Structure formats: structure tokens, C-alpha cells
Structure 1
Amino acid sequence: MNNIKEVKLLKLSETIAEEVTLLIGDEVVECFASCCPYELEVGRIYSAEISLNLSQSYEVQEVEPTDVRAVKKGRGFSYYLYGYLNDKEFMTFTALFDEDVHYEYPDLNNKFICLEVERIDASFC
């Protein structure tokens, strides 16, 4: 299982070289471009591996089901991600595979959760 997604580059930051705004599925998210071996062009579609960067003390909790979505947490790259945890797959604005949450919070399996992430990384292929 991998997290390689087709993404559309909407914006490059003028101040932070690694900041990119991507359209992933139907959701617009600001990501940290952790690997980019070539020059990016706004408006183009790329393949990128999307991964979640969790802090040492990240928070996850069961919440009432709502829309699956990404909600920006203030300034920077932090987000609250809402979705279903199904074993190693987190169904949020896109399907993401992450074993850490599954193994650290097995009681939240098959539940609708809110996961706080430090940033969403995009590694361009």
C-alpha cells in the first residue's frame, strides 16, 4: 500500500521554498514539499507521495461523524484531519495509509476521528 496520489499544483509560496498548495481529490491543502527533484509549474498535475508528519504528542479523538475534510490549524502547516480509521487506512480527504495511529489507538479502529497533524508532506516522484 502506498500514498502516491495525483495532485494538482495550485500555488508555490513566494516566501517559503518548500510550501506548496495542492488540490488532492476535492480538497485544497498546503503541504510541505519534502522532496522535489525537478522544478514545479503551477497548474500542472504531478504524482506525489502524501504522508502525515505527526508530532511526538499528537492528538487523536473519536468525534461525531461529519464530512471527511482537512481543516487548517492556524498558520503554518498543521491540520485537523477528519475521517474514518479503518485498520491501517485513514479515510480522510484522501485515503492515507499510516500504521502508527492504527497501532497506538486500536480502540479507534472503524471510528470517525479527528487527527491533529503537524504537517502534510508531499514527496514528488
Structure 2
Amino acid sequence: MEYMALVKRLDPHVEEEVTVEIEGVEFTGFAFICPYEIEVGQKYPVSIGFTILDEFKVREIYENEKELERLDQGFGYCIRGLLDENSINAGIIILDEDEYFADYPDLIGKYVEMEVDRISIEFLEKGIHEEL
């Protein structure tokens, strides 16, 4: 799913670290694809995914929660939301491009939480950024 993301912060030390706001949800992600220079205060078209570096686990939760909770000061997040076949709705839709959710068919349509090593932000080439 494509969104327009407002760039809130660029890390001066880690080039790929960017804090964005999408539909009222603010988070810090890893800009793994960025085909142009981005600026704080501008909006850009993006797609959101996640990266798992080690073991992936999903567990059902019994609260109807949708949130992104940052773990420490790194890129890691606990994502809570409604699981779909190829995405999770955590207030914004985060895509499962590597088909991790295929291993959890019994959790589709349920609220879950999972820890990811980073939320990936792909800045798309479509469109021109908008000034606020």
C-alpha cells in the first residue's frame, strides 16, 4: 500500500534513519530505497514493510490494539495489529513482502503482536514531493 509520508526527522549520523508520520502514526524507520534527496517537512510517496534478521514469531493478543512500539533507540519495533494474509494493520498497513505470515494461517483475521528488527521505508519514484 502506498502512503504519503511527512518526513519529521533525518538522523545526522545514520543516513538511512528517518522519522516519518503517516496518517497520524509516527515512527522511525530504515529508508532502504530512496532514489532522491529527501527533506524534513516534505511529503513523499512511500511503501512500508518490515525486516526480520533472526527468528520471526507472531502471537495472538486479546486486545484490539493497533500500534507501533519502538524497542529501545534502535530500529526494532513491536507491531500490534490485525493480521491479513500479506500485511498487518497497525494503524497503517505494513506489507509482508517475504511471506512470513503464510506460516500462520490460523492467525489471519486476528489481532497479533510481533517483533521486527526494523520497519522498512521505500521512497517511491512516483510523484513529486509536496510542500506543507
TM-score, normalising length: structure 2:
0.85
Cα RMSD after superposing both structures: 1.4
CA distance in 1, matches of 2:23, 2:89: 12
8 Å Cα contact 2:48/2:95 also seen in 1: no
CA distance in 2, matches of 1:119, 1:89: 15
Q: In the comparison of the two structures, how many residue pairs are matched? A: 123
Letter in 1 for 2:12: E
The superposition leaves residues 96-124 of structure 1 with CA deviations (integer Å, 9 ceiling, x where unpaired) of 33262321111111110001111011111
8 Å Cα contact 2:48/2:93 also seen in 1: no
Task: Give runs of aligned pairs for residues 1-125 of structure 1, distance below 5 A.
Answer: 3-98=1-96, 100-125=99-124
CA distance in 2, matches of 1:34, 1:96: 15
8 Å Cα contact 2:68/2:90 also seen in 1: yes
TM-score, normalising length: structure 1:
0.90
Letter in 2 for 1:71: E
Change (3 A) 1:19 1:97: closer
After the TM superposition, which parts of structure 1 deviate over 3 Å for at least 4 consecutive aligned residues?
Answer: none
Question: How much has 1:15 moved relative to structure 2?
Answer: 1.1
CA distance in 1, matches of 2:48, 2:22: 9
Alignment partner of 2:113: what SS? strand
CA distance in 1, matches of 2:71, 2:14: 18
Range 91-100 or range 27-36, more displaced: 91-100
